[in-house]
Amino acid sequence: MNSSADILIIGGGAMGLATAIELARQDRQVTVLSRSFEEAAVHAAAGMLAPQAEGLAASSMLDLCLQSRSMYPDWIQGLEELTGLDAGYWPCGILSPLYEPPPGHSLHASDWLQPETLNQRQPGLSAEVKGGWWFPDDAQVNNRALAQVLYAAAQQLGVQLFDGITVKKIQHDAHRITQVETTAGDWQAQTYVLTTGAWSADLLPVPVFPRKGQLLSVKAQPHAVRLNQVLFGSEIYLVPRQGGQIVVGATSEDVGFAPHNTPAGIQQLLTAATRLFPGFADYVMEEFWWGFRPTTPDELPILGASPYENLVLATGHYRNGILLTPITAALIAELVLTQTTDPLLESFSWERFGSLGCQHDALTATAT
Ligand code: GLY
């Protein structure tokens, strides 16, 4: 079978769907091919919108993340109005408790809370905690609900969504993608967008590789101490949902695409969560899962034009995919529509790796 599309997005996770939505809103005809919508990293995340809690240094990455965080309220509102669904966006702030206080001078920073103030904001923290950072502008979204909202919005806007189709090969000549070979025949398009996350290196020699994260969730018993905001500890994060659930993450493992939860991974999460928030031990276990962060050698995404004039890249978002979804979708759609690269994208070009043929091991050796 031979099929064609105006714009073909390869990958049906958060980036693919959100970019498709932006393009469809501009009346473009968009097709998304997804190997497995259920396996996309958007389902595996915890949904933190945490440029500050993640401790990103002043950089173009921090600028990109802060701008994306600021887009969230309007972006979510637009999607919720379109679909009538709730994405669970909650500007609850993030508290980052520490067992060791930072050097003296930073204790006077306005976002540092001494133990007494910290305990007023969040009762039930460990007696080992010596204070913490408070990031009121960091937030969260229910990533699984967001995935449903994005899917529904794309459908409503007329995006053609194909789940269960694997792109096996991207065919190209010296300058252009000529077609993609899939498990459902060949597809041709005017423009292609690659949003295949941790699986990107299956299709192009991009230095993107998986870093596994294991997560779990618990549910509050009736009289449990509740979390009022996200807790982002040095070895763990606890993300409370408004219904009383807490999502706990995450391990960070270089084990390729090795599937499954492991006793070691889950034990690590349970031990760290109970240390930070002892009342956690009385919650009810609910679910375990895992996912693969799309990681690059410098842990920054690969965004923008590619060596092929009709292929755009949006992959490698590592720990910040949910946070970066709105800005990625907006700027990648702008690039597709106008061939204009926003200055914010310049630091994230594939060209920083020299050549798309570079090997992961060689790049890792030189990564900062
Ligand atoms: N964004 C948190 C993580 O990747 O674990």
Q: Give residue-wise pLDDT tens across range 188-218.
A: 999 999 999 999 999 999 999 999 999 999 9
Q: How confident is the model at residue 105 (pLDDT cuts 50, 70, 90)?
A: low
Cβ–ligand 1 distance for 236 under 6 Å, the answer no
Domain count, the chain: 2
- What's the 3-state SS for the chain? CEEEEEEEEECCCHHHHHHHHHHHHCCCCEEEEECCHHHCHHHHCCCEECCCCCCCCCCHHHHHHHHHHHHHHHHHHHHHHHHCCCCCCECCCEEEECCCCCCHHHHHCCCEECHHHHHHHCCCCCCCCCCEEEECCCEECCHHHHHHHHHHHHHHCCCEEEECCCEEEEEECCCCEEEEEEECEEEEEEEEEECCHHHHHHCCCCCCEEEEEEEEEEECCCCCCCCCCEEECCCCEEEECCCCEEEEECCCECCCCCCCCCHHHHHHHHHHHHHHCHHHHHCEEEEEEEEEEEECCCCCCEEEECCCCCEEEEECCHHHHHHHHHHHHHHHHHHHHHCCCCHHHHHHCHHHHCCCCCCHHHHHHHCC
Q: Within this chain, do residues 236 and 100 fall inside the same structural domain, yes or no?
A: yes
- Check pLDDT > 90 for residue 334: yes
Question: What pLDDT is attached to residue 71?
Answer: 98
The answer to whether 138 and 230 are in contact (CB under 8 A) is: yes
* Single residue among 247, 268, 293 that ends a domain in this structure: 293
Cβ–ligand 1 distance for 172 under 6 Å, the answer no
- Tell me if 303 is assigned to some domain: yes
Q: Within this chain, do residues 244 and 282 fall inside the same structural domain, yes or no?
A: yes
Q: Within this chain, do residues 71 and 216 fall inside the same structural domain, yes or no?
A: no
Q: Within this chain, do residues 214 and 65 fall inside the same structural domain, yes or no?
A: no
Structural Rg of the chain based on CA atoms: 21
Cβ–ligand 1 distance for 211 under 6 Å, the answer no
The token pair that represents 282 in the structure block: 């009385």
Average pLDDT over the chain reads: 94
* Single residue among 293, 308, 326 that ends a domain in this structure: 293
Cβ–ligand 1 distance for 272 under 6 Å, the answer no
Backbone φ, ψ for residue 261 (5° rounding): -80, 150
The answer to whether 159 and 31 are in contact (CB under 8 A) is: yes
- Tell me if 338 is assigned to some domain: yes
Q: Within this chain, do residues 235 and 347 fall inside the same structural domain, yes or no?
A: no
Which is it for strands 185-194 and 94-97: parallel, antiparallel or unpaired?
unpaired
- Tell me if 190 is assigned to some domain: yes
Please, which residues have CB within 8 angstroms of residue 121's CB and are 6 or more apart in sequence?
95, 113, 134, 228, 229
* Single residue among 293, 316, 336 that ends a domain in this structure: 293
Q: Within this chain, do residues 164 and 75 fall inside the same structural domain, yes or no?
A: yes
The answer to whether 216 and 266 are in contact (CB under 8 A) is: yes
The whole-angstrom separation of Cα 195 and Cα 181 is: 16
- Tell me if 363 is assigned to some domain: no
Residue to mutate (ligand 1; options 42, 43, 48, 247; most atoms within 8 A of CB): 48
Exposed/middle/buried for 358, CB within 10 Å: 0-12, 13-18, 19+? middle
CA of 320 to the centre of ligand 1 (A): 7
Question: What pLDDT is attached to residue 368?
Answer: 26
Question: What pLDDT is attached to residue 182?
Answer: 98
Q: Within this chain, do residues 254 and 339 fall inside the same structural domain, yes or no?
A: no
Atom 3 in ligand 1: residue holding the nearest Cα: 319
- Tell me if 359 is assigned to some domain: no
CA of 248 to the centre of ligand 1 (A): 10
Cβ–ligand 1 distance for 319 under 6 Å, the answer yes
- Tell me if 247 is assigned to some domain: yes
The answer to whether 333 and 159 are in contact (CB under 8 A) is: no
pLDDT, tens digit, 9 for 90 and up, residues 238-269: 999 998 999 999 999 999 999 999 999 999 99
Question: What pLDDT is attached to residue 39?
Answer: 82
Over residues 162-171, mean pLDDT: 97
Domain range enclosing 59: 2-84+143-208+297-353
Q: Within this chain, do residues 215 and 276 fall inside the same structural domain, yes or no?
A: yes
- Tell me if 366 is assigned to some domain: no
pTM, two decimal places: 0.95
* pLDDT > 70: percent of the chain: 95
Q: Within this chain, do residues 183 and 109 fall inside the same structural domain, yes or no?
A: no
- Check pLDDT > 60 for residue 360: no
- Tell me if 246 is assigned to some domain: yes
Q: Within this chain, do residues 343 and 220 fall inside the same structural domain, yes or no?
A: no
Residue to mutate (ligand 1; options 214, 230, 251, 319; most atoms within 8 A of CB): 319
The answer to whether 83 and 156 are in contact (CB under 8 A) is: yes
Q: What is the CATH number of the domain that holds 38?
A: 3.50.50.60
Cβ–ligand 1 distance for 304 under 6 Å, the answer no
Atom 1 in ligand 1: residue holding the nearest Cα: 319
The answer to whether 67 and 341 are in contact (CB under 8 A) is: no
Question: What pLDDT is attached to residue 106?
Answer: 67
The answer to whether 296 and 302 are in contact (CB under 8 A) is: yes
Question: What pLDDT is attached to residue 235?
Answer: 85
Question: What pLDDT is attached to residue 216?
Answer: 98
Q: Within this chain, do residues 257 and 277 fall inside the same structural domain, yes or no?
A: yes
The answer to whether 133 and 117 are in contact (CB under 8 A) is: no
- Check pLDDT > 70 for residue 365: no
Q: How confident is the model at residue 5 (pLDDT cuts 50, 70, 90)?
A: confident
The whole-angstrom separation of Cα 39 and Cα 253 is: 18
- Check pLDDT > 70 for residue 100: yes
Q: Within this chain, do residues 349 and 331 fall inside the same structural domain, yes or no?
A: yes
